[in-house]
């Protein structure tokens, strides 16, 4: 919540510095026409099922702390990481300067 308050206060500070009437009217129009407060989010049946499963987990004490989850994620990432050391290209047998290059000769 503190982050939201900081954002809101930052916007208010910037608004107080604006003196252009047309700009302020455009902002007022934008805010007046945004219907964020009444907008309902529609969940899919899969999302509803996941929320129900989460509620059941909470009721049955199947919880994990954020720090334990972070450790588990880190272990999994180390074990299953797709990141490998970059492989350097193998050296080509290129002719030295002045030598003719015949690609069919090899």
Domain ranges of the chain: 1-32
Residue 66 has a pLDDT of: 92
Residue 7 has a pLDDT of: 92
Q: Is 61 left (phi over 0), alpha (psi -120 to 50) or beta?
A: left
How far apart (Å, rounded) are the C-alpha atoms in residues 82 and 103? 36
How far apart (Å, rounded) are the C-alpha atoms in residues 35 and 18? 24
**Helical H runs in the chain?**
2-17, 21-33, 45-59, 66-80
Q: Going residue by residue through the chain (106 aa), what tens digit of pLDDT does each one get? A: 688 889 989 999 999 999 999 999 999 888 888 766 667 778 999 999 999 999 999 999 999 999 999 999 999 888 887 666 666 666 666 666 666 656 565 5
Tokens of 49: 């099922």
How long is the chain? 106
């Amino acid at each position: 919540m503190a982050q939201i308050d900081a954002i809101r206060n930052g916007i208010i500070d910037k608004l107080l510095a604006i003196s252009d009437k047309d700009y302020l009217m455009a902002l007022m129009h934008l805010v007046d026409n945004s219907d964020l407060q009444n907008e309902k989010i529609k969940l899919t049946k899969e999302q509803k099922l996941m929320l129900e499963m989460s509620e059941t987990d909470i009721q049955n004490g199947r919880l994990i702390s954020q720090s334990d989850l972070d450790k588990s994620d880190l272990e999994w990432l180390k074990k299953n990481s797709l990141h490998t050391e970059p492989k350097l290209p193998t050296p080509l047998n290129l002719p030295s300067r002045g030598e003719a290059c015949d690609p069919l000769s090899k």
